[in-house]
Copies of this chain bind each other. A is one copy, B any other.
């Protein structure tokens, strides 16, 4: 395409945006709204995933030891546990410490130890696994070790947690996909309707001897501009809303794990921009296609 043609395409696209300002605004609005919702959902999904990871990482296996072990036997056991596949962390909890913890949890203001002649609790290890799915297998392996009297890992809780988190993951992934498709549908429909309302114009161009590409290109550019503007707006709004929310959460719920690093969020914003641009381009050039056959 020559210099004059490139200039023509660009001028056409801009003129058309200005001429059809109402339609253009409507299209940009639809892109913005659709991608804003999609963006919010993506961020929610990312944070849910992070939250689930934290939840899962908090899960631990309690390994109670027989009462007749000596220090070196205990240390040996600790080494064994550490090298067990799937284990990420091993912490020793002495029976004294265990009693202290229990008393704390019962309220340490009055001294229950008064009634206590002897510490009834055993020594134990707290073992964390690399992922929550590994807990049952790891627990079973640990149970076979000598010196281990009992292994508790809240089987029921883990199972429930596994099911719930899998559901949450599936649901949020499905939602993102459904919302993504909805955004594509909404945006391309608006652009198609807007092209539809200019079908006569396209016909006249063809009668003047314009090639399909000559007709299509300004529409394509226009779609790109519309899609990109909408996506940019959506990204900015999502960014602002998210910043406000994580600031608030950091104050009121410091215990929640919020994804704030830009390297994890950049793909979201980039994705929105690329999606808007692609749908805009594809939506308009495909729509034009219908009316080119004259």
Question: Chain A: residues with CB nearer than 8 A to chain B?
Answer: 22-23, 26, 29-30, 33-34, 36-37, 40, 64, 67, 102, 105-107, 109-110, 112-113, 115-122, 149-152, 160, 163-164, 167, 175, 178-179, 182, 185-186, 189-190, 192-194, 196-197, 249, 252-253, 255-256
Contacts and interface: CB of A to CB of B under 8 A. Distances in A.
A267 B177 CA distance: 27
Number of copies: 2
A163 B253 contact: yes
6 contacts: A29-B189, A30-B186, A64-B106, A115-B119, A116-B120, A190-B193
Contacts of A23: 193, 196
Contact of A252 (B67, B118, B163, B194): B163
A164 B242 CA distance: 17
A116 B115 contact: no
A185 B163 CA distance: 37
Please report whether the interface of chain A is mostly helix, strand, loop or mixed according to DSSP.
helix
A64 B107 CA distance: 9
Interface pairs A-B: 3 shortest CB-CB: A197-B197, A107-B150, A116-B120
Given A29-B185, A160-B253, A118 B117 contact: yes
A82 B109 CA distance: 25
B26 A193 contact: yes
A249 B171 CA distance: 12
Contacts of A253: 160, 163-164, 167
Contacts of A106: 64, 121-122, 150, 152
A274 B90 CA distance: 59
Contacts of A34: 182, 186
B109 A150 contact: yes
Nearest to A248: B167
Q: Which of A22, A67, A110 is packed against the most chain B CB atoms within 10 Å?
A: A110
B117 A121 contact: no
Given A23-B193, A23-B196, A179-B37, A152 B107 contact: yes
A273 to B, nearest CB: 20
Counting chain B CB atoms within 10 Å of each CB, the highest count among A29, A112, A151, A152 belongs to A112
Contact of A116 (B64, B118, B163, B256): B118
Contacts of A185: 29-30, 33
A64 B109 CA distance: 11
Contact of A190 (B64, B109, B116, B189): B189
Nearest to A151: B107
A120 B113 CA distance: 7
Contact of A150 (B33, B110, B167, B194): B110
